[in-house]
A and B are shown apart, each in its own frame.
Chain A
C-alpha cells in the first residue's frame, strides 16, 4: 500500500522544551540601565531633606554643606529633627525673636564653643535652613533673625536645583 503521510504526527504539539521568552524584559532592563547611568552620582547626599515639607526650586549652582539644621515645615519648627515650637503659634508672637528656638540654638552654640576651646575646631556659625516653599515671608524673617541673635549668622537656604 502506498505510504500515507500521517495526520497525527504533523499535528504533534508537544514538542520538546518550552522556551521562556525573555527578550522583552531585556529591552526594559536596558532602558532602565541607560537611565540609571545618567542619574549616577558619586558625591552622595549630605543633607536629608525633611519629609513634611517641599523645598522651593532655584537655579543656584552651589553644592550643599552640612551644618546645624533648622527645619521650618508647615506644622513645626525643628532644630536638628527635634520639634521645638508649632508654626501656627508664630503668627501670634510679637517681635522678631522666637524664644524657644533661640534657647535651643544658644545651647548648641555653647556646646560648639566648648568644642572649639577643647579641640580647636573653629565654630563656623553656619546654620542650614530648610523651609517649605509656601511659608510666608514674615516667618522666614523671624527664623533668620532668631538665628542671627543666637550667634549663627551664616545662613544657608536649602533648595532643589532646577535648570535655568
Chain B
C-alpha cells in the first residue's frame, strides 16, 4: 500500500542557471570590433638608398665614394645556383672544392646559417681595419628569385648568437653583376 505524497510544501531551493544573454551581448559587440582592427599579417620595409647620380651606364648600383687612403674591403656575396661565393678586395674565400662555391647548398637549399657564421668570422677578423666594414655588396645570377635575395640580406644584416642579435653588415648594396 503506497502513501500519498505529502502536501506539505518543502523549501525547495532550485538552482537558477546564470543568464548567458548579457555576456552574449558583450561578445556580439566586441568580436566584430576587434576583428576590424586585427592585424594578421605584419608588413615591413627594407631600405635601399642609391645616391642619385651614381648610377653608371653599365647599371652598377655601387656607391661611388671618393678614394680614401685606407684600402676598402668591398665584401661581396655572389649568389649562384650552386651556392654562395664570398670575396673581397683582400682575398676570395674558397670552398671545399677548387673553384667551387665558398658555401655550397645543403639538400638543394641555400645554407643561410653557414653564411651568417662565415660573415661573423670575417667581421671579427676585419673589424677596425677597413673604413667600409659595415657595407656588403650582394650580387646574383639573373635567374635567382627575389625571396633568396631577401633572405641573403637578412643573413648578412645580423646574426643571433646565444639569443643576442649581433649586427654584421647593415648597409646593403645590390650589384648588377654578370649577365
Within the complex, which residue of A5, A25, A141, A164 is in contact with B5, where a contact is CB–CB below 8 Å?
A: A5
Q: A160-B41, A164-B160 are in contact. Are A145 and B59 (CB under 8 A)?
A: yes
Find out whether the CB atom of A65 lies under 8 angstroms from the CB atom of B45. yes
Q: Is the CB of B40 within 8 A of A39?
A: yes
B49 at the interface (CB under 8 A from A): yes
Nearest-Cβ distance from residue A15 to partner chain B, whole angstroms? 13
Asked if B179 and A138 make an inter-chain contact with CB atoms under 8 angstroms apart, the answer reads: yes
**A29 closest partner in B (C-beta):** B27
Binds B, one of A79-87, A100-108, A110-118, A148-156: A148-156
With A and B bound together, what is the CA distance between A53 and B44 in angstroms?
16
A5 touches B44 (CB 8 A): no
Roughly how many angstroms separate A33 CA and B17 CA in the complex, as a whole number?
23
Contact with A along B21-62 (1 / 0, CB 8 A): 001100100110011011111111111111110010001010
Contact of A155 among B50, B142, B154 (CB under 8 A): B50
How does the 8 Å CB contact mask read for A75-96 relative to B, with 1 for contact and 0 for none? 0000000000000000000001
Closest residue of chain B to A138, judged by CB?
A: B142
Does B20 make an interface contact (CB < 8 A)? yes
| Contact A160/B24 with A60-B154, A136-B145 known, Cβ cut-off 8 Å | no
Q: Is the CB of A133 within 8 A of B146?
A: yes
Are A159 and B48 closer than 8 Å at their CB atoms?
Answer: no
Q: Which of B44, B50, B146 contacts A63 (CB 8 A)?
A: B44
Bound form: Cα–Cα A98–B38 in Å = 39
Does B1 sit at the interface, judged by CB under 8 A? yes
| Cβ–Cβ contact B2 & A136, under 8 A | no
Q: How many residues of A contact B (CB 8 A)?
A: 62
Given contacts A32-B31, A62-B44, contact A39 B39 (CB under 8 A): yes
A71 CB to nearest chain B CB (Å): 13
Question: When the two chains form their complex, are residues A26 and B20 in contact, meaning their CB atoms are under 8 A apart?
Answer: yes
B147 at the interface (CB under 8 A from A): yes
Residue-wise interface mask of B (130-165) relative to A, using a CB-CB cutoff of 8 A (1 in contact, 0 not): 000000000011111111011101100100100000
A68 to chain B, nearest CB (A): 13
In the complex the two chains form, what is the Cα distance from A154 to B3 in whole Å?
97
A119 within 8 Å of B (CB atoms): no
Instruction: With a 10 A CB-CB cut-off, give which of A33, A59, A145 has the most chain B CB atoms.
Output: A59
Closest CB pairs A-B (n = 3)? A138-B142, A36-B34, A41-B39
A binding-site residues for B, Cβ under 8 Å: 2-5, 19, 22-23, 25-26, 29-30, 32-33, 36-37, 39-42, 44-45, 47, 49, 55-65, 96, 125, 128, 131-138, 140-141, 144-145, 148-149, 151, 153-161, 164
Extra inter-chain contacts (9) besides given A145-B59, A145-B176, CB under 8 Å: A37-B34, A55-B43, A58-B153, A125-B52, A136-B145, A137-B149, A151-B52, A158-B45, A161-B44
